[in-house]
Amino acid sequence: MADIKLTVDNIEVTVPEGSTLLEAARAAGIEIPTLCFLKDINEIGACRMCVCEVEGARSLVTSCVYPVTEGMVAHTNSERVKEYRRKTLQLILSDHNQDCLGCSRSENCELQAMCKKYGVDDTQYYAGKRNESVIDDSSVSIVRDNSKCILCRRCVGACINSQGIGVIGANERGFDTYIGTAFDLPLAETSCVNCGQCITACPVGALYEKDSTAAVKAAIADPDKVVVIQPAPSVRVGLGDCFGMPLGENVEGKMIEALRRLGFDKVFDTNFGADLTIVEEATELIHRVTTGGTLPMITSCSPGWIKFCEHNYPDMIPNLSTCKSPQQMFGAVIKTYYAEKMGIPVDKIVSVSVMPCTAKKFEIGREDQSAAGVPDLDYALTTRELGRMISEAGIDFVNLPDGEYDNPLGEYTGAAVIFGATGGVMEAALRTAVEKISGKELTELNFTDVRGVEGIKEASYNVEPIGEVRVAVASGLANARKLLDMVKSGEKDYHFIEIMACPGGCVNGGGQPHVPSKVRNAVDVRAVRAQGLYDIDEACTIRKSHENPMIIKLYDEWYGEFGSEKAHHALHTSYVPRVINKDL
Give tens-digit pLDDT for 442-499: 989 999 999 999 999 999 999 989 899 999 999 999 999 999 999 999 999 999 999 9
For residue 324, give the amino acid letter: K
Q: Is the pTM of this model over 0.85?
A: yes
The CATH number covering residue 518 comes to: 3.40.50.1780
Whether 443 and 324 map to the same domain: the answer is yes
Q: How many CB atoms lie within 10 A of CB 186?
A: 15
What pLDDT score does 257 carry?
98
Contacts of 391 (CB under 8 A, 6+ apart): 242, 243, 397
Q: Considering the domain boundaries, does residue 578 fall inside one?
A: no
Whether 101 and 239 map to the same domain: the answer is no
Q: Which DSSP category does 154 fall into?
A: H
- C-beta separation of 533 from 416 below 8 A: no
For residue 316, give the amino acid letter: M
Q: Where are the alpha helices (H) located in 195-251, listed in sequence order?
A: 197-201, 213-221
pLDDT in tens, 146-165: 999 999 999 999 999 999 99
Indicate the residue among 209, 229, 254 that finishes a domain.
209
Whether 489 and 542 map to the same domain: the answer is yes
Distance of alpha carbon 550 from alpha carbon 558, whole angstroms: 11
pLDDT level of residue 353 (50, 70, 90 thresholds): very high
Whether 342 and 437 map to the same domain: the answer is yes
Residue 584 pLDDT greater than 50, yes or no: no
Backbone angles phi, psi at 30, to 5 degrees: -110, 130
Cα dihedral angle (25, 27, 30, 33), rounded to 10 degrees? 60
Q: Considering the domain boundaries, does residue 581 fall inside one?
A: no
The CATH number covering residue 36 comes to: 3.10.20.740
Helix (H) or strand (E) holding 170: strand 168-171
- Average pLDDT of the residues of the chain: 96
Indicate the residue among 77, 103, 128 that finishes a domain.
77
pLDDT in tens, 12-53: 999 999 999 999 999 999 999 999 999 999 999 999 999 999
Residue 553 pLDDT greater than 80, yes or no: yes
What pLDDT score does 580 carry?
67
Q: Where are the beta strands (DSSP E) in 305-391?
A: 349-355, 379-382
Q: Considering the domain boundaries, does residue 154 fall inside one?
A: yes
Cα dihedral angle (319, 325, 330, 331), rounded to 10 degrees? -100
Q: Which DSSP category does 504 fall into?
A: T
First to last CA, the chain: 49
pLDDT above 70 coverage of the chain, percent? 99
What pLDDT score does 134 carry?
84
What pLDDT score does 130 carry?
81
Q: Considering the domain boundaries, does residue 242 fall inside one?
A: yes
Distance of alpha carbon 533 from alpha carbon 527, whole angstroms: 10
Residue 293, judged by CB atoms within 10 A of its CB (0-12, 13-18, 19+), counts as middle
Question: Coil, strand, or helix at residue 400?
Answer: coil
| Full domain range(s) for residue 233 | 214-571
What pLDDT score does 508 carry?
98
Q: Which DSSP category does 161 fall into?
A: I
Q: Which DSSP category does 158 fall into?
A: I
pLDDT level of residue 128 (50, 70, 90 thresholds): confident
Whether 184 and 234 map to the same domain: the answer is no
Checking phi first, is residue 343 left (phi over 0); if not, alpha (psi -120 to 50) or beta? Answer: left
Whether 491 and 376 map to the same domain: the answer is yes
Distance of alpha carbon 361 from alpha carbon 325, whole angstroms: 13
Whether 134 and 233 map to the same domain: the answer is no
Backbone angles phi, psi at 178, to 5 degrees: -150, 155
Q: DSSP letters along 539-561, please?
A: H-S---GGG-HHHHHHIIIII-S
pLDDT in tens, 175-211: 999 999 999 999 999 999 999 999 999 999 999 999 9
Whether 199 and 238 map to the same domain: the answer is no
Q: Considering the domain boundaries, does residue 398 fall inside one?
A: yes
Mean pLDDT of the 326-342 span = 97
Distance of alpha carbon 37 from alpha carbon 64, whole angstroms: 7
pLDDT in tens, 372-406: 999 999 999 999 999 999 999 999 999 999 999 99
Whether 500 and 367 map to the same domain: the answer is yes
Q: Which DSSP category does 323 fall into?
A: B
Whether 308 and 438 map to the same domain: the answer is yes
Whether 150 and 260 map to the same domain: the answer is no
Distance of alpha carbon 94 from alpha carbon 98, whole angstroms: 9
What pLDDT score does 579 carry?
79
Q: Considering the domain boundaries, does residue 85 fall inside one?
A: no
Distance of alpha carbon 305 from alpha carbon 44, whole angstroms: 28
Whether 223 and 197 map to the same domain: the answer is no
What pLDDT score does 581 carry?
55
Work out how many domains the chain is built from and give that number. Answer: 3
Q: Considering the domain boundaries, does residue 124 fall inside one?
A: yes
The CATH number covering residue 156 comes to: 3.30.70.20
Q: DSSP letters along 246-286, please?
A: PTT---HHHHHHHHHHHT-SEE--HHHHHHHHHHHHHHHHH
pLDDT in tens, 297-323: 999 999 999 999 999 999 999 999 999
Q: Considering the domain boundaries, does residue 225 fall inside one?
A: yes
Indicate the residue among 161, 181, 209 that finishes a domain.
209
Residue 582 pLDDT greater than 60, yes or no: no
